Structure 1
Amino acid sequence: MAVTLIDTSDRIEARNAALTASRLSNVDMRDLAVDDANLSGATFRNVNMTGVRITDANLSDMEIEGVKVTDLFAAWKQLKG
């Protein structure tokens, strides 16, 4: 699969990239935009998720601190009534 990397000063744009098993460490990704990506099996450790927005996502089997996100949503909906 061809990978296109476009270096625009402090930005890199990757299109049609297969980054399976890649590792990012000590990377500043503020204001990062991710669209049409497969993050299945990804692990995030020691990350600042302040202000992160997730929309139109498949959250099945996703866990935060060992708790399934779908269970968190179910409990929230039950509390909300």
Structure 2
Amino acid sequence: MDKITITQTPDALALKTGGIEEVSFTDVFVKRLSLENVCLTNAIITNANLSDIEIEGAQLGGAYIHNIGMPPADHPLYDPAARQRPLKFEDCTLEGSEFLHCDLSHVRLHDCTITGMQINGIPVADLLQAYAQQQGK
């Protein structure tokens, strides 16, 4: 396969009904990127600003999402006043997923199935039942 290199161009790029085995973007500004009916298996996105990204109808099984949020205190772009805007998950199947060492402050769950869901090994259904009993409900 021939290697195609595009350097410092403001032009638009379109690929339809094609295949590219390996792609690398480094220090690139991409705005209004549209990917439809694509296979991104084994894709890696590192040090990226994905603000306002929308992912719909995607299969994310086996995805590993980590170190997400604002830059930490030891990062050169750290700003102690910066706050990440909230993320929204809607109509998602997260069955069997794990959240480890995550800041879930002010997270709200609405009309969600919580069968088998645990927080620090405690079933959430039991916590809700104990809360309801304490509230006299």
One fold, TM greater than 0.5? yes
- Quick check: which has more Rg, 1 or 2? 2
TM bucket (normalised to shorter chain) is 0.7 to 0.9
CA RMSD of aligned residues (A): 1.8
Name the SS for the 1:74 alignment partner. helix
Higher helix share: 1
Q: Taking structure 1 as reference, are residues 9 and 40 closer, same or farther at Cα in structure 2, changes over 3 Å only? A: closer
TM-score, reference length from structure 2: 0.52
Greater RCO (Cα-Cα under 8 Å, separation 6 or more): 1
**TM-score for both structures, normalised by structure 1:** 0.85
- Residue 59 of structure 1 deviates from its aligned partner by 0.6
Matched, 1:24 2:79: no
Q: 1:9 to 1:26 in 2, by over 3 A?
A: closer
For 1:1-81, what aligned pairs fall within 5 Å after superposition?
Answer: 2=37, 10-28=51-69, 30-81=85-136
One-letter amino acid of the counterpart of residue 107, structure 2 = V
The list of structure 1 runs, each at least 4 consecutive aligned residues, that deviate by more than 4 angstroms after superposition, is: none
Q: Which runs of 5+ in 1 are unaligned?
A: none
- Cα distance, 1:9 vs. partner? 6.1
AA matched with 2:110: T
Percent identity, aligned pairs only, is 32
Q: How many residues align structurally?
A: 76
